[in-house]
Amino acid sequence: MAESYVPGEKSGAGVSSMRPTHHTRACLSLLLFAAFNSAVHAADTATLAVMADTNEATATAATTAEDFSYSGNWRTLLNAAQINSAGPAALTGKLQPGLITPVQTSVQSELEMKAQYKNWHTTATLHTEKSDSNSARNTGWLNEFYGNLDLGAWQLSAGKKIIAWDVGYGFRPNDVIQQEKRRSLISQTAIGKPLASLDFFTADQALSLVWVNPAQNDAINNIEEQAIAARWYQRSGNADWHAFARYGKHTQASLGAAFSWVASDAIELHGSLRVQQKAAILQQTAFTGLARSAPWQWAMQDQVSQLLLGANLTTEDQQSFFVEYWYDGSARSQSDWRQWLTQNQQLQSMGQQAPWRLAAAANLAWQNNAFNASSNLRRQNLFARWSWQRDAWQTAIDLLWMPEDGGRITTLSLEWQGDRWHWQAGLRVFNGPQQAIARQLPNTHSAYVSATWAF
């Protein structure tokens, strides 16, 4: 830049064509000296300007770098299951082999990326799955994509976001936004809901108002319907208190409350209650013979209540004893399951007659929809869990017992957590009396191994 702005050089070039006298040489010397000083000053000014621009650009780049952050993890899950010889899936296979193809082994891999730029947050997942029953299936989804507006004690969020409420471990009646399925084999990031939320925070209090699924007008089920939900939270000494309210387009009003009390350094007690005006459940139409299409539809159940009570004891050597009881009024009743078992026997008998074999097999295949009618198989559930944390290792055994029919789901797991690697392995067994619903599931047990690498 100094070379492009040196007026003395141009002046010198013009004078150099003349024959200077001593006076002229003196004047020329003074002119050259002044021109040189002017050029140096201009160069210094330009240099300072460049340095200022460079520092500003560096500061801007540093600020931009601080505004942007990312992380991710890669995880893979190997699952091997033992196919059940009882239940509707097995009966379907006996009547019409190939109509249902239970998965015995599968390998799943996921690449999850999280990014944040200023007040924008994104989590995306790429998923691939290969099982013994089909070819590889590749898919992907956005877990979260939302923006935050920080207004001091107030925060405004909009987009696709995970909002998980309530205090339970095995079951959360007041998880009215996310409605996440609990007790999965391995920990995975949930898929958020489209929503807009307004939150107010103080040191001991919080208030949240959420509009979930704002663009959804047709869905009748609890998970996808448009709804307004609110939560109030208050800390009082060693206790946390929660109050919840929700109004859904189809399920209408519900109210809930929860608490968590740290009774001592070793004991924690918690509970949750929810009363709903209506609940959407998957029900079977009247059974009058062989149906021509899937006889399962979403319907409303009036006056539904849910309750959870739990306690946690932690010892000095990092052993944890966890017990919860819950009642889920939205689950299928004892009479519903009794009728379902009778229908399975009738369909099996119909399938023995050649003209009805295929139709009976199809109806038995549809009977598996009953397992997804609610988040719980039974209304009454007792859950117990023991875990032991020792350095990087954690061992755990848990049991879900359903006293209405004696069904049991038992899980044994072992985990190792390093700086970047997280290994998990375990075995889940479905057992109980022969007529227990847990014994009617497509698998009798499943074993798994999972590895997660964080970066």
Same domain, 416 and 302: yes
Same domain, 29 and 116: no
Closest residue by Cα to residue 346 from 292, 282, 281, 291 = 291
Q: Which residue has the tokens 């017992």?
A: 401
Same domain, 115 and 260: yes
End position of a domain, from candidates 37, 58, 79:
58
Same domain, 34 and 114: no
Position 170 in a domain: no
Distance in angstroms (rounded) separating the CA atoms of residues 148 and 159? 9
Position 155 in a domain: no
Same domain, 11 and 126: no
Same domain, 14 and 136: no
pTM of the predicted model as reported, rounded to 2 decimal places: 0.82
As for how many domains the chain has, the answer is 2
Q: Which residues constitute the domain of residue 387?
A: 71-141+178-188+253-454
Same domain, 318 and 427: yes
Position 294 in a domain: yes
Q: Which amino acid appears at position 8 of this protein?
A: G
Closest residue by Cα to residue 283 from 300, 296, 301 = 296
Position 375 in a domain: yes
Q: Provide the pLDDT for residue 64.
A: 59
Same domain, 28 and 94: no
Q: Provide the pLDDT for residue 283.
A: 87
Same domain, 54 and 182: no
End-to-end, the C-alpha distance of the chain in Å comes to 45
Position 116 in a domain: yes
How would you classify residue 447: left for phi > 0, otherwise alpha for psi between -120 and 50, otherwise beta?
beta
Same domain, 51 and 76: no
- Mind listing the pLDDT tens digit of every residue in the chain (455 residues)? 433 333 333 333 333 333 333 333 333 333 333 333 343 343 334 333 333 444 444 444 444 567 899 999 999 999 999 999 999 999 999 999 988 888 889 999 999 999 999 999 999 999 999 988 777 899 999 999 999 999 999 999 999 999 999 999 999 999 999 999 888 888 889 999 999 999 999 999 999 999 999 998 887 887 889 999 999 999 999 999 999 999 999 999 999 999 999 999 999 999 999 999 999 888 887 777 788 888 888 889 999 999 999 999 999 999 999 999 999 999 999 999 999 999 999 999 999 988 899 999 999 999 999 999 899 999 999 999 999 999 999 999 999 999 999 999 999 999 999 999 999 999 999 999 999 999 999 999 999 999 999 99
Position 208 in a domain: no
Half-sphere exposure of 413 (CA within 13 A, CB side): 24
Q: Provide the pLDDT for residue 31.
A: 31
- Pair type for strands 205-212 and 227-236: antiparallel
Q: Provide the pLDDT for residue 65.
A: 64
Same domain, 51 and 126: no
Q: Collect all residues with Cβ–Cβ distance below 8 Å to 144 and sequence separation of at least 6.
A: 121, 122, 123, 159, 160, 161, 162, 192
Q: Provide the pLDDT for residue 30.
A: 32
Distance in angstroms (rounded) separating the CA atoms of residues 359 and 295? 13
Same domain, 20 and 106: no
Position 165 in a domain: no
How would you classify residue 369: left for phi > 0, otherwise alpha for psi between -120 and 50, otherwise beta?
alpha
Position 221 in a domain: no
Q: Provide the pLDDT for residue 139.
A: 96
**Domain of residue 393, CATH code:** 2.40.160
